[in-house]
């Protein structure tokens, strides 16, 4: 069984052939390593990168692990009763969950993809909390997945929206709008295409029809809106007026490209531009580099999720490495930045930010932010990506401890490299065997072959970097992961005469991720009060943790219950957690449900009700009830 892959998002790489001649056209969608700070210097000209899919890491995890995440073997239930089950026993299929009235809705991940049997939004009758009945499926568009689903009572009636992300041939982006006044007979009202807000990118680079990863329904008086997380270059947060749900229209937008120095120590290079009309390609490239130059292993600054306050005037944006963003959307046509909450050093164990999910308390004074982090196994499976044509040597990846050992013993060793291991046959490390994995998309895979030569540490090996040690013809080069594309490292090593390259992880800490609890008593100046991790998210090497488990926090919802503020968290292999965050400096776990194997993705809490829902990626829908006051 292979270990889970590193975190990797999927991106579209667009090559600009010639500005002067106006030959600006997008290339085919392709993947690359997201911890690389900016456009690659690959000889093809300037580039712009735009996000396509924020969930690729989980797809990779499933496909490489060949199992659904497992976890501690003992059932662990504390103050949480399982009341009902909606079975969907399909490995890795189920995503988010939402509920309205007596019906719950769950989404579908990439397999099955739209057009296949079972793909779409599953409808469940939960009138009886002890007996969940399957009702039917709202099918995904062919080639797209329905990752996120939301439903709410709006002025026009009961409305359901679901996101579209491409997962196969012919797929579309955007989102769908349905009327669910009769949940057993949903009526399609509109398909909404979501594009980049920048006219230059739309007209010249074809930045159209982007996927949507998350959605949120809200109202202001007699008007209905949906906030969409669009996987565009600019304007990831887009607001659509759906007062007439058959004729939706884009009315406002915002993106991390507009963060200025008054709000963050890490501002955009051009925060005051009108990004709808900006046509200066030099500035666009400046901002593109900024949007891909965050913290840690997964460094983008794109929006991942959004929650809107109950009165529809505040938007809380989980903006990945841009941090936690608060917008005033009283005027939906002009979202205004209120604050940015960002603690890249103190906010997590390993310096990642990865702001993934967010939910405020009822009065907005306490905000719980979830971090998602798959970089615990960063470097295990390097991805060469779309620039494999630059590579003329085999390439593999190795893990943190291997990389650190090889750096410490930078020269004087020799050995043989295969697709599965690097075996040292002479030198200080004689007899050592380091596990490796072939680079994905490498046009020169090792396969059943091998390379024998001196083993030489060369350092980062990005364009312009001097090698730590000189390379001779036929050497096996060892490069440190980070700051540029794997293909750049491979091309530079090949140019120096190396016969093969090993890319080593650059993370010293191997941890997953947890929660950050913020004090928003002054919304213009939020302060980090505490972080919360489980045993396995903080230390996956602990004896109770399965090495194949997924221990990142995922989705969160917060509710005021009397004088308490409670956070309900779907925590993948760690189960469903309930955390009392009433004292934000001292969060306390008061409830947990874990009945292995679990793989919890989504959570929804019925307001003012003891029941809540969890979606397990491989089991389907769970109905829970919180019991008692809990324990420390």
| Secondary structure, 3-state, 470-536 | CCCCCCEEEEECCCCCHHHHHHHHHHCCCCEEEEECCCCCCCCECEEEEECCCCCCCEEEEEECCHH
Query: Quick one: CA dihedral 252, 258, 260, 264, positive or negative?
Result: positive
Q: Report pLDDT for 539.
A: 78
In sequence order, which residues have a C-beta less than 8 Å from that of residue 331 and are 6 or more positions away? 252
Question: Which range, of 240-249, 382-391, 535-544, 608-617, averages the lowest pLDDT?
Answer: 382-391
Q: What is the CATH number of the domain that holds 439?
A: 3.50.30
Residues 341 and 218 in one domain: yes
Instruction: Give the distance from CA 618 to its chain's centroid.
Output: 19
Q: Give the end of a domain, one of 65, 93, 112.
A: 65
Q: What is the mean pLDDT of residues 287-311?
A: 92
258 in a domain, yes or no?
yes
Residue 32: how many CA atoms within 13 Å on its side-chain side?
32
Q: Which of helix, strand or coil describes residue 291?
A: helix
The residues near 609 (Cβ < 8 Å, ≥ 6 apart) are none
- Judge whether 2 lies within some domain: no
Over residues 602-622, mean pLDDT: 94
Euclidean distance between CA atoms 153 and 325, whole angstroms = 26
Range of the domain at 416: 385-504
**pLDDT tier at 401, thresholds 50, 70, 90:** low
Same domain membership, residue 124 and residue 61: no
Q: For residue 171, give the 3-state DSSP assignment.
A: coil
Q: pLDDT value at position 384?
A: 46
**Choice between 497 and 391, residue whose per-residue pLDDT is larger:** 497
Within-domain flag for 239: yes
pLDDT band of residue 34 (cuts 50, 70, 90) is very low
Summarize the confidence of residues 236-263 as an average pLDDT: 98
Span between the terminal Cα atoms of the chain, in Å: 36
| Per-residue confidence (pLDDT) for residue 64, from 0 to 100 | 46
Of residues 39 and 600, which shows the higher confidence score? Answer: 600
Does the pLDDT of residue 532 top 80, yes or no?
yes
> Quick check: 489 and 464 in contact, CB under 8 A?
no
User: Does one domain contain both 454 and 546?
Assistant: no
- Full strand arrangement of the beta sheet holding 80-87: 80-87, 620-626, 611-616, 600-605
Give the total number of structural domains in the chain: 3
Q: Are 371 and 355 in contact (CB under 8 A)?
A: yes
Query: Residue 70 domain-assigned?
Result: no
Least confident of 274-288, 383-397, 538-552: 383-397
Using the structure block, give the residue that is written with the tokens 């941090």.
Answer: 323
What is residue 50's predicted lDDT score, i.e. its pLDDT? Answer: 64
Q: Which residue has the higher pLDDT, 547 or 170?
A: 170
Q: Which DSSP string do the residues of 74-113 spell out, in sequence order? A: S-EEESEEEEEEEE---TT-EEEEEEETTEEEEEE-SSSP
| Residues 94 and 27 both lie in one domain | no
Q: Is the peptide bond before 538 cis (omega within 30 degrees of 0)?
A: no
Examine the domain organization and report whether 128 and 30 are in the same domain.
no
Does residue 525 register a pLDDT over 90? yes
386 vs 220: which has the higher pLDDT:
220
Instruction: Please state the rounded mean pLDDT for residues 498-514.
Output: 74
pLDDT averaged over the chain?
A: 85
Same-domain pairing of 245 and 322: yes
Give yes or no for residue 169 having a pLDDT over 80: yes
Of the listed ranges 42-46, 436-440, 538-542, the least confidently predicted one is 42-46
Specify whether 219 is located in the same domain as 136: yes
Cα angle, residue 458 at apex, residues 455 and 459 outer, rounded to 5°: 130
Is residue 292 within 8 A of residue 284, CB to CB? The reply is no
The CATH number of the domain holding residue 103 is: 2.130.10.10
Tokens 């600006």 — which residue?
Answer: 24
The predicted-structure confidence for 218-235, as pLDDT tens digits, reads as follows 999 999 999 999 999 999
Q: What count of other Cβ atoms lies within 10 Å of the Cβ of residue 498? A: 31
Q: Given 44, 65, 86, which residue is the final one in a domain?
A: 65
Mean pLDDT to the nearest integer, 561-572: 95
Residue 175 or residue 398, greater confidence = 175
- Distance CA(106)–CA(252), nearest Å, equals 28
**The predicted structure's pLDDT at residue 211:** 96
- pLDDT confidence bin for 75, thresholds 50/70/90: confident
Token pair for residue 339? 């604050």
Whether residue 565 is found in the same domain as residue 620: yes
28 lies in the same domain as 164: no
Q: Tell me, yes or no, whether 487 and 553 share the same domain.
A: no
- Give the end of a domain, one of 446, 479, 504: 504
Residue 344 scores a pLDDT above 50:
yes
Residue 617 lies in a domain: yes
pLDDT tier at 405 (50, 70, 90 boundaries)?
confident
The answer to the question of residue 425 being in a domain is yes
What pLDDT was estimated at residue 5? Answer: 24
- At residue 375, the pLDDT reads 62
Q: Are residues 359 and 413 part of one domain?
A: no
**293 and 162 within one domain:** yes
Task: Grade residue 265 by pLDDT with cuts at 50, 70 and 90.
Answer: very high
Closest CA to 608 of 626, 632, 630: 626
Flag whether 3 is in a domain: no
24 vs 46: CA distance, rounded Å:
11
């Amino acid at each position: 069984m292979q270990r889970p892959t590193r975190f990797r998002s999927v991106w579209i790489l667009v090559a600009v052939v010639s500005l002067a001649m106006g030959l600006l056209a997008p290339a085919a969608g392709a993947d690359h390593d997201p911890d690389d700070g900016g456009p690659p210097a690959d000889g093809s000209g300037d580039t712009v990168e735009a996000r396509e899919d924020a969930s690729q890491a989980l797809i990779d995890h499933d496909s490489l692990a060949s199992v659904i995440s497992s976890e501690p073997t003992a059932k662990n239930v504390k103050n949480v009763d399982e009341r009902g089950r909606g079975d969907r026993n399909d490995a890795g299929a189920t995503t988010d969950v939402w509920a309205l009235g007596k019906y719950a809705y769950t989404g579908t991940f990439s397999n099955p993809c739209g057009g296949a049997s079972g793909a779409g939004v599953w409808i469940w009758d939960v009138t009886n909390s002890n007996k969940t009945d399957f009702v039917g499926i709202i099918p995904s568009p062919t080639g797209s997945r329905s990752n996120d689903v939301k439903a709410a009572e709006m002025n026009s009636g009961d409305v359901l929206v679901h996101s579209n992300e491409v997962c196969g041939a012919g797929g579309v982006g955007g989102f769908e709008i349905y009327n669910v006044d009769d949940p057993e007979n949903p009526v399609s009202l509109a398909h909404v295409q979501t594009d980049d807000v920048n006219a230059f990118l739309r007209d010249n680079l074809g930045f159209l029809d982007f996927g949507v990863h998350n959605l949120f329904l809200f109202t202001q008086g007699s008007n209905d809106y949906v906030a969409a997380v669009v996987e565009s270059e600019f304007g990831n947060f887009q607001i659509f007026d759906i007062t007439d749900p058959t004729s939706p229209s884009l009315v406002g937008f915002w993106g991390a490209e507009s963060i200025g120095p008054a709000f963050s120590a890490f501002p955009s290079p051009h925060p005051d531009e009108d990004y709808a009309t900006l046509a200066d390609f030099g500035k666009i490239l400046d901002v593109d580099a900024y949007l891909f130059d965050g913290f840690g292993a997964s460094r983008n600054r794109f929006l991942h999720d959004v929650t809107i306050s109950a009165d529809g005037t505040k938007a809380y944006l989980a903006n990945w490495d841009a941090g936690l963003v608060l917008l005033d959307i009283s005027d939906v046509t002009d979202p205004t930045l209120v604050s940015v909450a960002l603690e890249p050093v103190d906010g997590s164990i390993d310096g990642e930010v990865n702001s993934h999910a967010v939910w405020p308390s009822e009065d907005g004074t306490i905000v719980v932010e979830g971090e998602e982090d798959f970089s615990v196994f960063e470097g295990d499976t390097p991805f060469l990506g779309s620039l494999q044509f630059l590579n003329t040597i085999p390439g593999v990846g190795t893990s943190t401890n291997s990389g650190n050992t090889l750096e410490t013993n930078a020269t004087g060793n020799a050995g043989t490299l295969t697709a599965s291991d690097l075996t040292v046959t002479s030198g200080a490390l004689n007899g050592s065997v380091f596990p490796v994995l072939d680079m994905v998309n490498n046009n020169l895979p090792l396969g059943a072959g091998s390379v024998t030569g001196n083993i030489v540490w060369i350092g980062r090996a990005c364009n312009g970097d001097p090698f730590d040690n000189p390379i001779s013809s036929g050497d096996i080069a060892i490069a440190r992961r980070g700051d540029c594309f794997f293909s750049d490292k491979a091309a530079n090593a090949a140019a120096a005469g190396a016969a093969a390259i090993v890319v080593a992880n650059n993370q010293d800490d191997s941890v997953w991720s947890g929660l950050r609890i913020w004090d928003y008593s002054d919304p213009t100046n939020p302060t980090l009060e505490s972080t919360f991790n489980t045993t396995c998210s903080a230390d996956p090497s602990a004896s109770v943790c399965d090495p194949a488990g997924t221990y990142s926090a995922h989705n969160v919802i917060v509710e005021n219950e009397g004088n308490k503020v409670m956070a309900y968290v779907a925590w993948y292999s760690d189960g469903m957690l309930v955390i009392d965050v009433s004292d934000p400096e001292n969060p306390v776990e008061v409830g947990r449900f874990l009945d292995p194997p679990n793989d919890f993705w989504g959570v929804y809490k019925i307001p003012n009700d003891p029941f809540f829902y969890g979606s397990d990626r491989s089991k389907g829908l769970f109905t829970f009830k919180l019991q008692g006051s809990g324990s420390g």
